[in-house]
Amino acid sequence: MPARRTARERVRAEITRDITDIARARLAAEGAAAVSLRAVARDMGMVSSAVYRYFGSRDELLAVLIIDGYNAIGEAVEDADARCRRGDYPGRWLAACRAARGWALAHAHEYALIYGSPVPGYRAPADTIAPAARSAAVFGRLISDAWEAGQLTPPPGGRTGPGSLAGDAARLRDSVLPGVPDDVAIGALTAWAGVFGVISFELSGKFTNVVTDTAAYFDRAAGDFGRLIGLPGA
């Protein structure tokens, strides 16, 4: 049976949650530049020195928001993949892509914080690495599963070797793409970048007056990227 928290621990957890909620609200209203401990303290009706008892700096607060964002989109992608039949690799791919887009549309400012322009003066700590890899791990696992099952069909013309990118392919394989050859690893990276590029274009309004049915276009683009890797019927 887990130990019960003390009253002081419960209060600290509640105030910490309030601080992050207000910081998230400021992020949505004015962007990352508006997130500061002084501004959050003002919104909470506290002196800034009191907020420093919970977060040592603005960067520490931003790190929590970033970790929360990565974990949230990672969980959304994981849940979408878990609902699919394991052998339906194109279906798993599309479900994961749709989940990433759905979370991004519902949390546009948090998406911008983790996938948009870097916050000036901020350097992400190592604590963000594992949460950032959660969604990539889902895509990587389904591609590795498809490769192991012999279900990746090379696109017309075959694949070219990675050349100077061999070291990068090896790092991808070691982190999120176990067992796949170099060309599949590089193709997967291109596909991931493409999926998130389309999401970013939509959120930043780049499709205005160009694409009317953005959901249909996204599905088409996700399928194109899946076929780039060799997923049949993606």
Tens of pLDDT, residue by residue over 141-150, are: 999 999 999 9
Amino acid at 4: R
Residue spans per domain, the chain: 1-56, 69-229
Does the 69-229 domain belong in CATH 3.30.559.10?
A: no
Question: How far apart are alpha carbons 23 and 12 in whole angstroms?
Answer: 16
Tell me the chain's radius of gyration from C-alpha atoms: 21
Q: What is the pLDDT of residues 178-234, one digit of tens each?
A: 999 999 999 999 999 999 999 999 999 999 999 999 999 999 999 999 999 999 877
Q: Which residues contact 97 (CB under 8 A, 6 or more apart)?
A: 195, 218, 222, 225
**Inter-residue contact 212 to 172 (CB < 8 Å):** no
pLDDT of residue 174: 94
- Specify the CATH number of the domain 1-56: 1.10.10
Q: Which residues contact 141 (CB under 8 A, 6 or more apart)?
A: 81, 176
Burial of 207 (0-12, 13-18, 19+ CB in 10 A): middle
Question: How far apart are alpha carbons 153 and 102 in whole angstroms?
Answer: 28
For 24, the token pair is: 């998230």
**Inter-residue contact 207 to 217 (CB < 8 Å):** yes
Q: What is the pTM of this model?
A: 0.89
Question: What does DSSP assign to residue 165?
Answer: G
**Inter-residue contact 176 to 133 (CB < 8 Å):** yes
